[in-house]
Structure 1
Amino acid sequence: MGAPTAVVVDDVHKHFRLRHTHSLKESLVWLAQRRRLRDEFTALSGVGFEVSQGEAVALLGHNGSGKSTLLKLMAGVMAPDEGRVGVRGRVAGLLEVGAGLHPDLTGRENIFLNAAILGLEEDEIRARFDDIVAFADIGPFLDAQVRFYSSGMFLRLAFAVAVHTDPDVFLVDEILAVGDEPFRRKCLERIRLLSAQGRTLVIVSHDVDLVAGLCSRGIVLAGGRLVHDGAIDEAVTTLRASW
């Protein structure tokens, strides 16, 4: 019997409306010129696949292919317009710099807030607090408001909290490009550890060499559609053939 299914993406469609005007005056001008005030953009169209528990999967594709939208659907940040996305177990991840962090709260306060959002009880957060702080390594800024953090500090704190929640499914969206090299290495070591522990990984990155070293499977998207699903080396070849 194979490993249980951790992620199900079943015939998923996602559409967005793109507004071209941002004020009543602009709208009236565009209407007078008989121009469209909005257009509909299809981010995902009929995408379907499953990810088994313990798999490390890369979502690959050019800008606008639907990778980040798909990851947000897995994270529960948004819902599909059609189809179904199901994830088994605790989900944690980094979808954008500072996601889950409140700018008016301190780093210390945000550890408790973000960890609670990711499903930890207060006693669990307190037990892991020192490890989170040590991993983030933001020094005296722990008690400063997050609004004064650099993008790199945002990343350190958000990543530190996420990896200490013992996620069953860990989602990463191009976020490692923000950190400095030493912290990037530390993040990659932790991601490899999560994989070795049998956690499910879904990673979005334009760095194909990076994901080839982390993932065994690649899913290639183009124009919101799934165009390839297979071994990571085959997926990378498919993607590079479209450059």
Structure 2
Amino acid sequence: MSQTSFTVLVTDDDPEIRDVIHIYLRNEGYRVLEAGDGLQALELLRQEAVDLVILDVMMPVLDGIKTCLRIREQWDVPVIMLSAKGEDLDKITGLTTGADDYVTKPFNPLELLARAKAQLRRMERLRARMQEETRIIIGDLVVDAERHRVTSGDREVALTPLEFGILQLLASHRGHVFSADRIYQSVWKEQSGYSDNTVMVHIRNLREKLERNPREPLYIKTVWGVGYRIE
């Protein structure tokens, strides 16, 4: 993920502080949103995909502590708290409300920028791990559950929703044999009817799309008299 894709929400009732932070973040290539109080910040979070929130503690309408609590009820976005209070108890209060970091005013903008970068890197690594968990790789075959996308080598394979459902079911349980009846119930979400023929047709279509030689499939194997599996 490139820096230009990061969006940072700066929430502070002091427009001069927002301007300074905005300039430093923008110079790094980040997209910056601004809010003057907690309610404005929450409204922007509902409207925009935000990667990091920089949040002042002392604000009118809705202060930073209450705003952070509200954020944690709905979003996992990292939060850096800003406050003129430097006592340990105040820092602990900020962190226990769900903040990921705490910076005391007056602050060095370069230090805040470094802390923002650290939070964004951590989030980027987490997203990468989550993305890997949604991707199933079997040889040259990649099943991406999050994007509902299948590739075989360099070739993207267009599947119907039912074909994708069958492939995802078998690929996520490699080595397990699924009967046609069980596949039908799992993918169609219905009690089996004429499941054998229905599933067989979809398996045949899948093989024609995935396999170089559908008569000798590399991926979806038939276990005669039992069902289908992916090795």
Same topology, TM > 0.5:
no
TM-score by length of 1: 0.28
Decide which structure has greater helix share.
2
Report the structure number with the largest CA radius of gyration: 2
